[in-house]
Structure 1
């Protein structure tokens, strides 16, 4: 596990997992949210996101968390491991509401500078419909990856067990 792509619905815990994996495996972590969002929630251009993602992927080791369709195929093709947090809609909605409360009037560590935590209807609705609209497309993409180790977790307990086993293997 040297090049790891972490994907899944908003609120599933992709960034938290990326940090934990980075610590266990001693691999640099890149949060796509912090790359995509400039101060004050200003997005970068699609081409710039692709360019920055490709620069990261030129390194020998990386953990990249986030969805971002513009770079999804690039990451999936380069990753030796893909982790898909495919949790229930309720779990993910809980995650985004909890995060909104926890980081009220603050910027999350995995977010772009000066992007205070917010929860708008568009994002709420995206999370609410992710398992119906986006997850089937993700699963279809994953089914085409033949040389990649794919982990699909549907419950947090599965992920916890995976991390415990990984810590034992790496003595971390």
Structure 2
């Protein structure tokens, strides 16, 4: 069931998409506008104050499962191993399906922009990482295909935003405001 309204997605919304697609920014904008708690999975997966050091798997899974058990949330992030639990609890899904080139450009731009960002790690400034550039360049296309297949099979309300213009239209039509660098 494809939709075009945020209100149709219910109180537990997953925001999926490639690295650098704007998932965290959109999740924060939705949370701010609707008064829904926002969960940035990157913050659960990585230790704050580090340069993206991984939290132990068991801790990450506990944090994730506690978050999805809540009554209301908007969660951004993919983490496919835990996606089935998240999707089982979700009342709606938004898929940002932008191109690899756009994801890469957004990633590079955010590493060059000073200050905190939605979904960033507390006490950490994003730095350009060649490992991340490689990850986005190599893994985005096959991951996009898998996410799209999962998205197509979902039988809950869902919204596909395949190009930046669709994302901009969604922000405008829903009265969403992108968070500032300060949150």
- Shorter-chain TM-score range: 0.7 to 0.9
Q: Trace 1:122-133 onto structure 2 (pairs within 5 A).
A: 122-133=131-142
Higher helix share: 1
Describe the shift of the 1:138–1:29 C-alpha distance in structure 2 as closer, same or farther (beyond 3 A): same
Number of aligned residue pairs: 165
Whole-angstrom distance in 2 between the partners of 1:86 and 1:55: 27
Normalised TM-score (structure 2) = 0.82
Whole-angstrom distance in 2 between the partners of 1:47 and 1:142: 27
Whole-angstrom distance in 2 between the partners of 1:144 and 1:88: 21
Q: Partner of 2:45 in structure 1?
A: 36
107-116 or 128-137, which deviates more: 107-116
Greater RCO, 1 or 2 (C-alpha within 8 Å, sep 6+): 2
Secondary structure of 1:82's aligned partner: strand
Q: Partner of 2:4 in structure 1?
A: none
Q: Trace 1:70-85 onto structure 2 (pairs within 5 A).
A: 70-85=81-96
Normalised TM-score (structure 1) = 0.86
**Structure 1 residue ranges, 4+ long, deviating more than 4 angstroms after superposition:** none
Q: CA RMSD in A?
A: 1.9
Unmatched runs of 5 consecutive residues or more in structure 1: none
Whole-angstrom distance in 2 between the partners of 1:9 and 1:130: 9
Secondary structure of 2:135's aligned partner: helix
Does 1:50 find its partner at 2:50?
Answer: no
Unmatched runs of 5 consecutive residues or more in structure 2: 1-9, 177-183
Match of 1:160 among 162, 165, 168: 168
Task: After TM superposition, give the deviation of residue 107 of structure 1 in Å.
Answer: 5.1
